[in-house]
Amino acid sequence: MQNVPQIWAVGGGKGGVGKSTVSTLLAFWLARMGRKTILMDADFGGANLHTLLGIKSPPRTLNDYVSKRYDSLEDLCIDTEVEKLRLICGAGDVLSMANPHVSQKNKIIQNISKLNADYVVVDLGAGTSFNVLDFFLVAHRQIVVLVPQPISIQNAYAFVRNAVYRRLSRLASQQPYLQALIKASMDTENELRLKTICDFLRTVEEFKGQDVATELSNEIQMIKPEVVTNMVNGPKDRNAGKVIQQVAEKYLMIHPVDLGGIVYDKQLNSIISEMMPLTKLLQSSDAYANVYDIAMKLVAES
C-alpha cells in the first residue's frame, strides 16, 4: 500500500521574501537525503518554480490537470536533474487559473495525498486569498517565510492571523451566528471589542456554550506555523521570527515555532537575478547550509 506523503506548505503573505527559493532548496535537500520528493508550484497567478530548476518550457502544468488533459497529479510530474526530485508546474500563463474555482482547488488539494512521494513541498502564491490559505491549512508542516523588515513581519503575522480565521470560518460554515462573530472579530475596530482569539472564544462560550468554545479552541491549536527568517544580515535580524511567536501567542492563542534564519547570500542572489537554476549554487554557500539545517530539523521531527 502506498504511503501518504508528508505535505510541507511554504507561504508568507506578500511576495519578495524568497518563498520559492526556500521551497526549492528544501525540496532539493529532501531529495539529497534520499527521500522521494515532489516540488509543487501552487502559485496559480505567477508560477516560476520551473525557472529556478532550469526548466524553460514545462511540457505540462496544473492547468492541464484542471482542464482534464491528465487524469492525475502524478501524470503532471516532471523529472528534474536532481535524483528523486520531481516538479509539478503551476499555470501562471493561463489567466483562468489565477483564481481557480473552489471545486478545482479542492480537487487539487484532495489529490496531493495520492502522489507517489515521501514529501510534497508546496510553494504557495503571494497574499492571503482563500486558495492560498486552504493549501496552507491542510499541510503537515506550515512554513511561513519572512525577511527581517517591519512590513514583512506585519505581513507574515497577517498571513498567520488570516489562516486562523479561515480555519474558524470553515468550521462554522453552517452556523450563521458564528460566521457573523468571526467576521466581526476580523475587523480590528469591531464594535464588540474583540481584540484577541481569547475574546472571541469567551463570547462563543457565553452564547453557544463551553463545548462549542472548547471545540473551536482545539481546532485552532492544530495550526502550528513554523517561521523561517530569510535574508538575515546579522544577529539582530534573527529575532524577526520570535516577534511572530510572541504576537501570535498573545493574540491568536497559537504557538509558532522559530526554525531559524537563512543568511543573505550574494551568490544566491546573483543566481536568481541571472535566472540560473538553483542547483548551480555552490555547496560552500551559507544559505545553502542554513536550509539544510532547517530541512534536517523538520525531517527529524516528522
Whole-number Å distance between alpha carbons of 201 and 196: 9
Give the pLDDT band of residue 273 (cuts 50, 70, 90).
Answer: confident
Q: How confident is the model at residue 2 (pLDDT cuts 50, 70, 90)?
A: low
Task: Determine how many CB atoms are found less than 10 A away from the CB of residue 189.
Answer: 6
Looking up cell 520551473 gives 50
- Secondary structure (3-state) at 77: coil
Q: First-to-last CA distance in the chain? A: 20
Q: Cell for 92?
A: 501562471
Is residue 173 a contact partner of residue 183, using CB atoms and an 8 Å limit? no
CA distance 121 to 109: 13
Mean pLDDT value across residues 144-164: 96
- The per-residue pLDDT of the chain, averaged, comes to 91
pLDDT at 95 over 50: no
Place of cell 508542516: 141
pLDDT band at 182 (very low <50, low <70, confident <90, very high): very high
Q: Which residues, other chains included, contact 177 with Cβ-Cβ below 8 Å and sequence gap of 6+?
A: 207, 208
Return the higher-pLDDT residue of 302 and 117: 117
What is the predicted pLDDT for the residue at 100?
65
The C-alpha atoms of residue 78 and residue 133 are separated, in whole angstroms, by: 26
Structural Rg of the chain based on CA atoms: 19
Minimum mean pLDDT range among 124-133, 135-144, 149-158, 259-268:
124-133
3-state helix, strand, coil in the chain (%, to 5): 50, 15, 35
Side-chain-side CA neighbours of residue 208 (13 Å): 18
Residue 126: the pLDDT is 84
For residue 200, the model assigns a pLDDT of: 95
C-alpha grid cell, residue 70: 491528465
Task: Report the pLDDT averaged over residues 50-65.
Answer: 89
Query: Measuring CA to CA, which residue among 22, 24, 27, 21 is closest to residue 5?
Result: 27
Give the pLDDT confidence score for residue 169 in this predicted structure. Answer: 94
| 260 has a pLDDT exceeding 90 | yes
The enclosing H or E element of 124 equals strand 119-124
Q: Provide the strand spans (E) within the chain.
A: 6-11, 37-42, 78-79, 85-88, 119-124, 141-146, 225-232, 257-263
> Between β-strands 78-79 and 85-88, what pairing exists: parallel, antiparallel or unpaired?
antiparallel
13, pLDDT greater than 90: no
Q: Find the range with the poorest average confidence among 45-59, 117-131, 176-190, 239-253.
A: 45-59
Domains and CATH numbers, the chain: 6-139+265-300 (3.40.50.300), 164-219 (no CATH)
Question: With 60 as the cut, is the pLDDT of residue 52 above it?
Answer: yes
Mean pLDDT across the stretch 248-273?
Answer: 94
Using the 8-state DSSP alphabet, how is residue 118 labeled?
S
* pTM for this prediction: 0.94
Q: HSE-up of 159 (CA within 13 Å, CB side)?
A: 34
The most confident of the ranges 10-14, 48-52, 61-65, 232-236 is 232-236
Interval 199-228: pLDDT, tens = 999 999 999 999 999 999 999 999 999 999
- Quick one: pLDDT band at residue 280, thresholds 50, 70, 90? confident
Those residues whose C-beta lies under 8 Å from the C-beta of residue 105, and which sit 6 or more positions away, are 131, 134, 135
